[in-house]
Amino acid sequence: MFTLSPEGQEFVKKELKRYETPYSAIIPALYRVQKEHGWVPPEAVDYLSELMQLPAAHIKEVLSFYTMFNKKPVGHLHVQVCTNISCSMNGGRELADALCKAFKVNYDEISPDKKITISRVECLGSCGTAPMMQVNDKYYENLTPETAIQKLKELGA
Amino acid sequence: MQTKLLTEHYDKPEFQTLEGYKKYGGYSVLPKALKMDPKAIIEEVKASGLRGRGGAGFPTGTKWSFLPANGEPRYLLCNADEGEPGTFKDRLMMERAPHQLIEGMLISAFAIGSKKSYIYIRGEYNYPTECVRKAIDEAYKAGYLGKNILGSGFDHDMDVYSGAGAYICGEETGMISSLEGLKGQPKLKPPFPAVQGYLRKPTIVNNVETLAAVKYIIRDGAAAYRKYGTEKSPGTKLFSVSGNVMKPGNYEVPLGTPLKDIIFDLCGGLKPGRKLKAVIPGGSSAPVLTADEAMRATMDYECLAQMGSMLGSGAIIVIDDSNSMVDLLDVIMHFYHHESCGQCTPCREGTGWLSKIVHRIHHGRAEAKDLDLIKKVSEQMMGKTICALSDAAAMPAISFVTKFRDEFERHIERNPSRTQEEAHA
Amino acid sequence: MPKIKINGKEYEVPQGSTVMQAFHEAGISIAHYCWHPGLSVAGVCRLCMVQIEGMPKLQIACNTEVKDGMVINNTSDVVKETVKWILDFHLINHPLDCPICDQAGECGLQDHYMEFGAYNPEMAEDKVKKSKVVDLGPTVVLDSERCILCARCVRFTDEVSKTHELGIFNRGDRSEIGIVDGKPLNNNYSLNTVDICPVGALTSKDFRFRQRVWYLKEADSICPGCSTGCNVKVHYNEEGLWRIKPRVNMEVNGHWMCDVGRSTYKYVNIKNRLLSGRVGRRDSWKEMSPASTARMAGLKLKEIVEAHGPDSVALVLTGQYTNEEYKDLLVYFVTGLKSKNVYHWINNPEKINDFDGLLFRGDRNPNTKGVEAALKRAGVQGKWEDLQAALSGGKIKAVVVAGPEDQSVFPDMEEKHAMFSQAENLIWFTACPSAVLEKSGCETFQIPVKTHAEKAGTFTNYQGREQKFPLVTTIVPQALTLSEVAEIFSGKELNWNLRPKSLGGTKNNYATTERGAL
């Protein structure tokens, strides 16, 4: 049975009252699920629908629309490498490939030790400090494959 | 050449805090504004000629004056869903000067009579969000937010809302949908947000930089603000410069500054031995300029419009001769295909179609007539949809294949994969 | 009222109309998929482009309000070229396999393509792959590749049924309609989504791949499923009825009808019908033609009344017949036999005032108001207790029952039959065979009667609205209407030459009549 922690449930209930419409609490609630579980499993939709008294199909719509919600499990380090224009011009794609090679994973897959998932993503607003990667919540900028690999190793990959 | 009006104190780390902000004159304009007639503030903003800094460039004062003149609750939404590829100025502003934004928003909210505002920040911007949240807390504690602000009788609440990864939420009605807890799909217009926006209530959506600029217009007056920039593009603007320059970054300059000065003086020019090939002057959806056009362009709304491009969000992407335009268009088209919200047929289907054709050209399975098809498809995507994402995909496509047609044709002629297939046969 | 010009002709339209409504009202053709008069405006298919003088860009008709003096055009080359392209955008990821699609023949894409399609599609790319044969629930199947994402079905479940089962998931050209696992599309209005789906994306499990629509005829009718009396269209061929769809009547059912009502076509078809009259009792039945059975029953009634007087017979009416039939039968019974023993059988009195808030009513009879009015007019409003007393007292020798056409909505069939069987003779009009009747202990005449689809007539709905409907088709030619029964009872002969004949009879086509799994 999927569930949120008691604090998580409390959080969702507070969010429901925070905005002018309870629907606005869906995105924060999905974030909370991801924070507690690392991703948003499909069962979370039903669970939140019950908890928030909002239509399940609506919650699933929101979940599926936004890219920041992981629809499948990711490694402890979720590495998102920007490959949009300015990053691509500065080696973003090569950086992403190099990371996959270094950590022996394919894109969007979890490494066997569950430590890392590498994804290519669209513009993260670090165009002036390209190439860059986002590791979980944090940006790392002005990277080379070497500095990025070094950083990820420091982070435990 | 840099004219640091908004960014004057951005080099001081303490400017991020309430204390530091106040040390450099922060929250000194708000008391003045709260004593003004709200209508006078709107008039001042109108007179300043300030245009929206998010991308569309719509005159801010005019937008405000579309609000119905009744007592209905109204909302001010700050658009901090900075997502246009190449743009990273709002991020800087929120990280370095969150109180500047809050003060600008309070003055704007007072002007339009709004008691509640949200700052909608893209979800990926964790650190900027943290900075803004902290600043809002500080502002509440100091009495700049909440009931009876500075004894003026004006009440205002402000909150932050995090997006969750969708370029389209930078479109103002897409952002409203997202804030309402829906998919971030743009809404039909009419009604426009000023009449029926957030929860069908009158709503004003302004970009971070726009709202921050309001503070300086009220501080110095419209006439002083107009001293910067050109007649039709008054004021200063933050430009995010990226791509192949020596010193990429954000630069605040008066509108009307020559693009070549920004690239070659402020940003230190290109890497040694490289030649300028092209510049995208206003974020990835702005039509590309050739090197020749770029050398003649000035960074203001009218010059770029005249050149068939646009100032957009002020994201200058500098492209040197080491790049393949086919490759870059492939990257751009992939982005719009990925980000189309999927409501309107021409955009939903057109972005995918374009991306597939360009990808096919890039990877050597194309014919010359595909270039005409790109133009035909793009033309039919323009002006046909609820929002401008469809146009945003079509404009770079048309401009790339028109202005760099030779390169696309050469690429098609080389046709690597066909040669390979034939070799295998 | 604003005056506007459409394609050069002047029209006057109500204030506040949209351009689309103006076209619709004026009956001018305009391409559209997402707009539906019963739903909110989505403005997403972008097909309803019009040119309006003074506006630089083309506008969508569905979201543009008319203004006095507007000059609108949707036949110019610019509009035509644009609409052709937007149709092409709809088609680039749509399978072009109309011959195997169940929607063929009534498909919006097909229609528009034939009208102004680009006959030289330039799409050379691989189409987006999506889910096929998605089981949305007990009634509806989805083919996502055929879906053009007009969102009508989603708006329907959000705005009309308010059941919120459907959503559009993902974004861009990966968007797909769907449900949440374990929360199927399962409400009494689900099949409206199939009706409003402009393409072959949503199909009805009950109808899909059973008939090609161009082989079906259609006729207007009234749904017999409850006292709302939804206006419907019946689709049929020589084999029988295949489906029922709603017909717009803003005063009764708007654009919709319920799934229960849609299933009422089933008992009309021949394999569910009583084909000949049956006389006898438990384990001992004699078959004869309906008319002969009626003649025999009529003689029996005459005999009883002559021997025991008019109070020795009783008539029981259900609310399942037409006003015309009630009138004729009552004339025979009240004026002819001079009996005042006429009673109204209400099948589920405790639920009769139930209402789901949309269309479906607890009174599962199409003509309760009609039977009540007929009884009142004839001055015979017998009390049910009197009938009970008379029966148990043995005063009644024969009961004539205009039994339910749809037996499934009469939960008290067995109980009432037992009560009526206290009389020595039971004359029961029924469209379908009944296991309860087969067990009759008294002398029973089962007389096959026509269903609502096989006769013209009038139902009076819960509002008191008299709704006339025509004969759709004849499934059992030998079955009688109550009016005909009344004639035969009175000793008259039917004019067989004037009676409607069936269209042809059953084809033994197991491929279409025997349903496999989904």
CB-based burial of residue C403 (10 Å sphere; 0-12 exposed, 13-18 middle, 19+ buried)? Answer: buried
Q: Please tell me the predicted confidence (pLDDT) of residue B365.
A: 81
Pairing of strands C313-317, C398-402: parallel
CB contact under 8 A, B345 and C171: no
How far apart (Å, rounded) are the C-alpha atoms in residues B37 and C408?
A: 73
Residue C243: half-sphere exposure toward Cβ, Cα within 13 Å: 23
* Residues 43-102 (A) with a CB less than 8 A from some CB of C: 45-46, 49, 55-61, 64-65
3-state secondary structure of B158: strand
Low-confidence ranges of chain C (pLDDT < 50): 506-518
Q: What average pLDDT does range B272-285 have in this prediction?
A: 97
Task: Please say if the pLDDT value at position B289 is more than 60.
Answer: yes
How far apart (Å, rounded) are the C-alpha atoms in residues C78 and C318?
A: 61
How far apart (Å, rounded) are the C-alpha atoms in residues B338 and C170?
A: 11
Three-class HEC string of B206-268: EEHHHHHHHHHHHHHCHHHHCCCECCCCECEEEEEEEECCCCCEEEEEECCEEHHHHHHHHCC
CB pairs under 8 A between A and B: 139
How far apart (Å, rounded) are the C-alpha atoms in residues C191 and C206?
A: 10
CB-based burial of residue B274 (10 Å sphere; 0-12 exposed, 13-18 middle, 19+ buried)? Answer: middle
- Optimal mutation site among C169, C175, C176, C186, interface A, most CBs of chain A within 10 A: C169
Q: Taking the alpha carbons of C237, C240, C243, C247 in that order, is the dihedral positive or negative?
A: positive
Q: Does B319 touch chain A (CB under 8 A)?
A: yes
Whole-Å CA distances, A114 to A41, A103, C335, C485? 17, 11, 90, 81
CB contact under 8 A, A88 and B328: yes
Q: Does A27 touch chain C (CB under 8 A)?
A: no
- Optimal mutation site among A16, A30, A64, A89, interface B, most CBs of chain B within 10 A: A89
Q: Does B179 touch chain A (CB under 8 A)?
A: yes
How far apart (Å, rounded) are the C-alpha atoms in residues C493 and C483?
A: 12
Q: Please tell me the predicted confidence (pLDDT) of residue A75.
A: 96
Chain A residues inside the 8 Å CB shell of C178: 57, 60
Split at pLDDT 50, 70, 90, the class of B276 is very high
Chain A residues inside the 8 Å CB shell of B244: 89-90
Q: Does A39 touch chain B (CB under 8 A)?
A: no
* pTM of the entire predicted model: 0.94
Q: Please tell me the predicted confidence (pLDDT) of residue C504.
A: 58
Joined tokens for residue C66: 């008319």
- Residues B46/B180, Cβ–Cβ less than 8 Å: no
**pLDDT-above-70 percentage for chain A:** 100
Please state the φ and ψ torsions of residue B127, each to the nearest 5 degrees.
-65, -45
Q: Does B191 touch chain A (CB under 8 A)?
A: no
Q: What average pLDDT does range B255-273 have in this prediction?
A: 97
Joined tokens for residue C487: 């004639």
**Residue A145 DSSP class:** H
- Residues B21/B100, Cβ–Cβ less than 8 Å: yes
Q: What average pLDDT does range A85-92 have in this prediction?
A: 97
Q: Please tell me the predicted confidence (pLDDT) of residue C263.
A: 96
How far apart (Å, rounded) are the C-alpha atoms in residues B37 and B29?
A: 14
CB contact under 8 A, A58 and C171: no
> Of C498 and B270, which is predicted with more confidence?
B270
CB contact under 8 A, A60 and C180: yes
CB-based burial of residue C264 (10 Å sphere; 0-12 exposed, 13-18 middle, 19+ buried)? Answer: buried
3-state secondary structure of B203: strand
For chain B, the 3-state helix, strand and coil shares in percent, each to the nearest 5, are 50, 15, 35
CB contact under 8 A, B243 and A89: yes
Chain B residues inside the 8 Å CB shell of C126: 356
Mean pLDDT score across all residues of chain A: 97
- Optimal mutation site among C142, C176, C180, interface A, most CBs of chain A within 10 A: C180
Whole-Å CA distances, B353 to B343, C137, C192, C350, C518? 16, 33, 32, 60, 34
Chain C residues inside the 8 Å CB shell of A56: 164, 180, 183
Q: Does A83 touch chain B (CB under 8 A)?
A: yes
Task: Please say if the pLDDT value at position A134 is more than 80.
Answer: yes
Candidates B227, B205, B231, B232; CA nearest to B217 is: B227
Q: Does B28 touch chain C (CB under 8 A)?
A: no
Q: With residue B120 as reference, give the H or E element that holds it.
A: strand B116-121
How far apart (Å, rounded) are the C-alpha atoms in residues C435 and C419?
A: 16
Q: Please tell me the predicted confidence (pLDDT) of residue C120.
A: 63
Q: Does A88 touch chain B (CB under 8 A)?
A: yes
Split at pLDDT 50, 70, 90, the class of B425 is very low
- Residues B214/B60, Cβ–Cβ less than 8 Å: yes
Joined tokens for residue B404: 């760099």
Chain C residues inside the 8 Å CB shell of A1: none
Q: Please tell me the predicted confidence (pLDDT) of residue B387.
A: 97
Chain C residues inside the 8 Å CB shell of B383: 57-58
Contacts (Cβ under 8 Å, ≥6 apart) of B393: B285, B332, B333, B336, B337, B340, B347, B350, B351, B354, B378, B381
Contacts (Cβ under 8 Å, ≥6 apart) of C228: C252, C253, C359, C360, C361, C461, C462
- Optimal mutation site among A20, A68, A86, A139, interface B, most CBs of chain B within 10 A: A86
How far apart (Å, rounded) are the C-alpha atoms in residues B341 and B338?
A: 9
Chain C residues inside the 8 Å CB shell of B166: 171
- Residues C12/C70, Cβ–Cβ less than 8 Å: no
The CA distance from B333 to the nearest CA of chain C, in Å, is 13
Task: Tell me chain C's radius of gyration from C-alpha atoms.
Answer: 27
Chain A residues inside the 8 Å CB shell of B319: 89
- Kindly list the partner chains of chain B, i.e. chains with 3 or more CB atom pairs below 8 Å: A, C
Q: What average pLDDT does range A69-75 have in this prediction?
A: 97
CB pairs under 8 A between B and C: 90
CA B180 remoteness from chain centre:
22
Apex A80 CA angle, A79 and A81, nearest 5:
115
CB contact under 8 A, C44 and B386: yes
How far apart (Å, rounded) are the C-alpha atoms in residues C89 and B118?
A: 37
Q: Give the nearest chain C residue to B190 (CA atoms).
A: C63
Q: Where are the alpha helices (DSSP H) in C126-215?
A: 152-155, 192-196
Q: Please tell me the predicted confidence (pLDDT) of residue B70.
A: 83
The CA distance from B298 to the nearest CA of chain C, in Å, is 28
Q: Please tell me the predicted confidence (pLDDT) of residue C514.
A: 43
CB contact under 8 A, C82 and B386: no
The amino acid that residue C36 corresponds to is: H
**Residue B307 DSSP class:** T
Q: Where are the alpha helices (DSSP H) in C440-509?
A: 482-489
- Kindly list the partner chains of chain A, i.e. chains with 3 or more CB atom pairs below 8 Å: B, C
Considering only the beta carbons, identify the residue of C157, C166, C170 that sits closest to A64.
Answer: C170
Chain C interface residues facing chain B, Cβ-Cβ under 8 Å? 41-47, 49, 57-58, 63, 65, 82, 85-86, 89-90, 92-93, 122-123, 125-126, 128, 148-149, 151, 168, 170-175
How far apart (Å, rounded) are the C-alpha atoms in residues B408 and B360?
A: 12
CB contact under 8 A, B164 and A128: no
Q: Does B378 touch chain C (CB under 8 A)?
A: no
- The number of beta carbons lying within 10 Å of the beta carbon of residue C46 is 28
CB contact under 8 A, C180 and A65: no
Q: Please tell me the predicted confidence (pLDDT) of residue C509.
A: 43
3-state secondary structure of C379: coil
Query: Looking at the predicted complex, does its ipTM rise above 0.95?
Result: yes
Q: Please tell me the predicted confidence (pLDDT) of residue B414.
A: 84
The CA distance from B215 to the nearest CA of chain A, in Å, is 25
Considering only the beta carbons, identify the residue of B188, B190, B342 that sits closest to C173.
Answer: B342
- Optimal mutation site among A43, A60, A68, interface C, most CBs of chain C within 10 A: A60
Most trustworthy range by pLDDT among B171-175, B366-370, C113-117: B171-175
Q: Does A1 touch chain C (CB under 8 A)?
A: no
How far apart (Å, rounded) are the C-alpha atoms in residues A79 and B322?
A: 28
Candidates C25, C51, C54; CA nearest to C37 is: C25
> Which residues share a beta bridge with C51?
C73
CB contact under 8 A, C172 and B384: no
For chain A, the 3-state helix, strand and coil shares in percent, each to the nearest 5, are 50, 10, 40
> Of A157 and C355, which is predicted with more confidence?
C355
CB contact under 8 A, C183 and A46: yes
